[in-house]
Amino acid sequence: MSAELSESSPATPLFTSSYARGATDVPLIEQPIGAFFDAMAARQPEHEALVSVHQRRRYTYRELQRETDRLASALLGLGLQSGERVGIWSHNNAEWVLLQLATAKVGLILVNINPAYRTAEVEYALNKVNCRALVTMARFKTSDYIGMLRELAPEWAHSQPGQLESVTLPHLKTVVWIDEAGQGADQPGLMRFSSLLANGNPDDTRLAVIAATL
């Protein structure tokens, strides 16, 4: 990192690449994503925060914050810990945004997997970073996401949700598929997104404890 950059804000810990920036007069906010979002929600709780047209859903900041906290709590309930990786293999939807905010709130690393990936590519991506959990769509257009995962790990048909075992994907223990309010047939070994969300508690005291460490 250049001497010029180091001298620009001496009180800031500059020896991590996540804080690197080019020449600019605009200072970094230096605030975690979760805390920044909560501050926005506190300032304008009833303002519209998210619109998913194809899902016919709208969220105010207050509603989005509540659902984000619920999901963050549910992720902790899976046994996930700060620093571990959660993959998202999906096209744009409300669940994608919820997961982005929820993982940030509890220090999980969100791994964005290209929705155009096929079987070999997603296998490489998941194993490259040792994803512990994956959220995915069931299918989209010609992509059968669950079908590709089952091709990689046929053992999951005999596994319990959250306790997946596979030779091909040894680190992946939980796969959550995005359902529409409980619609669609159950997927053996996999967990519905709606069920995961229902397991969370938006008032979970662990969220504040973890936020203080980020």
C-alpha span between 98 and 100 (Å, rounded):
6
Per the model's pLDDT, the better-predicted residue between 79 and 8 turns out to be 79
Residue 85 and residue 130 in contact, taking contact as beta carbons nearer than 8 Å: yes
Please state, rounded to an integer, the average pLDDT across all residues of the chain: 90
Q: 185 falls in which pLDDT band (50, 70, 90)?
A: confident
Residue type (1 letter), 13:
P
Instruction: Mark out the alpha helices in 17-60 (DSSP H runs).
Output: 33-43
| Residue 153 dihedral angles phi and psi, to the nearest 5° | -135, 70
42-48 own/partner pairs: CB under 8 Å, 24+ apart: none
| Ramachandran assignment for 181, one of left (phi > 0), alpha (psi -120 to 50 degrees), beta (any other) | left
pLDDT confidence of residue 2:
38
Residue 15 lies in a domain: no
Per the model's pLDDT, the better-predicted residue between 48 and 186 turns out to be 48
Task: Give the CATH number of the domain where residue 107 resides.
Answer: 3.40.50.980
Residue 22 lies in a domain: no
Residue 98 and residue 37 in contact, taking contact as beta carbons nearer than 8 Å: no
Residue 125 lies in a domain: yes
Domain count, the chain: 1
Residue 24 lies in a domain: no
Residue 135 lies in a domain: yes
Residue 9 lies in a domain: no
Per the model's pLDDT, the better-predicted residue between 123 and 13 turns out to be 123
Give tens-digit pLDDT for 61-98: 999 999 999 999 999 999 999 999 999 999 999 999 99
Residue 134 lies in a domain: yes
- Domain hosting residue 65, numbered range: 33-211
pLDDT confidence of residue 18:
61
Instruction: Mark out the alpha helices in the chain (DSSP H runs).
Output: 3-8, 33-43, 61-77, 94-105, 119-128, 145-152, 193-198, 206-211
Residue 104 lies in a domain: yes
Whether the model clears a pTM of 0.75, i.e. scores above it, the answer is: yes
DSSP class of residue 143 equals: B
